[in-house]
């Protein structure tokens, strides 16, 4: 284990054309939040040796602290992490699931006394260059969800269908429009975290979080993000995920 990292063990956009004025405004906002000490990002990862280094290096440019949660990886992901004083590495000795990894990160973010936290995946599907936009929008919303466009040929057809179905069902259950229920690229004000921590340890944790947020009357904003699918293989069991989602909708 690289001794440069503080370690804790846990057992149990769409591209748009911008005017010169808009570019200047964005640069000023970027400078403002880079001077703060409130911006944290969480990246849970499991066997992402092909992608994690690029994601981490890019994210480090925009955060005060980067919480990495190694959820029991059995590959060489850990060897590809750069050394940086902003990085806080949390380790699960075994693969506990994304929900458990997120909870570890959320608890650490609260412990740091940070103001804003953004979650993104370590497989390259979430562009860290959008982090400044999340932090800016969190000034106006309790929660900001990255919204992907469902475009055939860019997003796999099965993902389009599952995202449409789950988002529609969740919208009916919660009584408000949920644009992208499956997006893991999200920003939160740290003040709302105690009201939304999930009990589900797996992928359904992010759906449970949405339910908890809506019940707590949190304001939700949506940020257009790029839809990125390259050579990544999903770690989610599609049949199991559907059954878990139905149970959560009916009884959650």
Residue 32 included in any domain: yes
Residue 50 included in any domain: yes
Residue 4 pLDDT class (50, 70, 90 cuts): very low
List, edge to edge, every strand of the sheet that includes 87-92. Answer: 7-10, 87-92, 65-71, 39-45, 116-119, 186-189, 143-147, 220-224
What CATH number should be reported for the domain holding residue 66? 3.90.550.10
In sequence order, what are the beta bridge partners of 223?
146
Residue 2 included in any domain: no
Residue 52 included in any domain: yes
Range of the domain at 11: 7-251
Report the domain count for the chain. 1
More confident residue, 11 or 230: 230
152 within 8 A of 99, measured Cβ to Cβ: no
For residues 19-36, average pLDDT:
51
For residues 176-199, average pLDDT:
94
3-state secondary structure of 216: coil
Residue 1 included in any domain: no
3-state secondary structure of 87: strand
**What pLDDT was estimated at residue 3?**
41
The two structure tokens encoding residue 91 = 């380790």
In this structure, the number of other CB atoms found within 10 A of the CB of residue 232 comes to 14
Measured CA to CA, the distance from residue 173 to residue 142 in angstroms comes to 20
Q: Which residues contact 161 (CB under 8 A, 6 or more apart)?
A: none
Residue 153 included in any domain: yes
Segment holding 31, helix H or strand E: helix 20-34
Residue 93 included in any domain: yes
Residue-wise pLDDT tens digits, 194-242: 999 999 999 899 999 999 999 999 999 999 998 775 655 655 565 666 6
CA distances from 199 to 16, 146, 185, 194 (A): 38, 23, 19, 12
Mutual angle of helices 238-251 and 157-174, in 10-degree steps: 10
């Amino acid at each position: 284990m690289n001794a440069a990292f503080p370690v804790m063990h846990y057992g149990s956009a769409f591209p748009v054309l911008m005017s010169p004025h808009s570019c200047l405004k964005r640069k000023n906002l970027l400078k403002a939040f880079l001077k703060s000490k409130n911006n944290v990002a969480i990246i849970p990862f499991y066997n992402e040796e092909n992608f994690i280094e690029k994601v981490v290096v890019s994210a480090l440019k925009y955060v005060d602290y980067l919480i990495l949660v190694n959820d029991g990886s059995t590959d060489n992901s850990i060897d590809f992490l750069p050394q940086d004083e902003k990085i806080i590495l949390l380790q699960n000795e075994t693969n506990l699931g994304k929900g458990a990894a997120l909870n570890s990160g959320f608890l650490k973010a609260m412990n740091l006394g940070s103001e804003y936290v953004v979650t993104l995946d370590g497989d390259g599907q979430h562009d860290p260059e959008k982090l400044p936009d999340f932090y800016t929008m969190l000034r106006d919303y309790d929660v900001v969800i990255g919204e992907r466009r469902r475009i055939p040929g860019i997003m796999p057809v099965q993902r389009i269908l599952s995202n449409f179905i789950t988002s529609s069902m969740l919208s009916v259950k919660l009584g408000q429009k949920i644009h992208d229920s499956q997006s893991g690229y999200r920003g939160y004000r740290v003040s709302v975290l105690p009201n939304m921590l999930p009990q589900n340890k797996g992928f359904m944790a992010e759906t449970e979080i949405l339910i908890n947020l809506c019940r707590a009357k949190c304001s939700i904003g949506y940020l257009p993000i790029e839809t990125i699918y390259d050579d990544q293989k999903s770690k989610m069991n599609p049949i199991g995920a559907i059954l878990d989602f139905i149970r959560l909708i009916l009884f959650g």
